Amino acid sequence: MVDHSAPTCPTAFGQEPPPPTERRTVLRVRDGTAEEAEDMLADEVPVALVYNGISHAVMMATPADLEDFALGFSLTEALIDHPGECYGIDIEAGPAGVAVQLDIASRAFVALKERRRSLAGRTGCGLCGVDSLDQVYRTLPQPAGAAMLAGGAVRAALAALPERQALNRLTGATHAAAWSDPEGRLAVVREDVGRHNALDKVVGALARDPALRTKGGFVVVTSRVSVEMVQKAAMASAAGIVGVSAPTAAAVRMAAGAGLVLLAFARGDRFTCYAGRERLAP
């Protein structure tokens, strides 16, 4: 008998997915002098998310940590209510892209069929699967308790993140998202050309290994903070979200309504608090 209470989500490969980077010979011009050099590029491929045999979304994503991506997307987009509704994940790579086959519970599949439409995602697409205005601002879970977010922890997480961005060091083309514990220790870091994809990968990694999730933990993203990023952080039960770039006004309103601390322009020892200042410790 299969235990559906835990997010086991086994993975089987038909053909290996392509690597996340590609080496290219380029021509570099500096001070009027041209020379050939080797360069590394981050790749992006079409990734189809297929639920019980029905394709729901096609996203352009970096082909790494695709099991995390599929499970995290399913959770943050409310296609499944909890990891136990995912019974398995198979990855099938082909010449046109990668198909991620998810076996989900009957309840979730019935709900999915009711809202399904044909989608073609773009890099950075964040509202995939939403086909009406009423679904854009959905009810978000409130953080359990009133966890404080310490400024020192934010600074520690920001300082530790660059060393964990291996793809970005090679290519300079990927965003990172991370889950930090309340002390600023990074438990999970994932990278992707799409900022939403990177955060979905973090959520999926936490779901597959609940021991990584810490109460009062927060999300760090190397991007702006928009509505969909706040939604995904809230769905992950984060105490807050920290972004290195600006927030949008709608994201600030959503964070305040969901009880999240929202920090932006977070670089080095500086940041600006836009929401939840009452829960920001010195």
Catalytic residues: 125
Tokens standing for 207?
């779901």
Single-letter code of the amino acid located at 179: W
Q: Which residues contact 110 (CB under 8 A, 6 or more apart)?
A: none
Burial class (CB in 10 A: 0-12, 13-18, 19+), 84: middle
- In angstroms, rounded to a whole number, what is the distance separating the alpha carbons of residues 278 and 262? 11
Beta strand ranges found along the chain (DSSP E): 21-30, 33-42, 45-51, 54-61, 86-94, 97-104, 149-150, 175-180, 186-192, 218-221, 240-243, 261-267, 270-275, 280-281
- In angstroms, rounded to a whole number, what is the distance separating the alpha carbons of residues 239 and 260? 6
Q: Which residues contact 142 (CB under 8 A, 6 or more apart)?
A: 258, 259
Decide if 81 contacts 110 (C-beta within 8 A): no
Q: Which residues contact 106 (CB under 8 A, 6 or more apart)?
A: none
Residues belonging to the chain: 282
Nearest to 263 by CA among 140, 150, 160: 150
Q: Phi, psi at residue 212, to the nearest 5°? A: -75, -20
Q: Which residues contact 278 (CB under 8 A, 6 or more apart)?
A: none
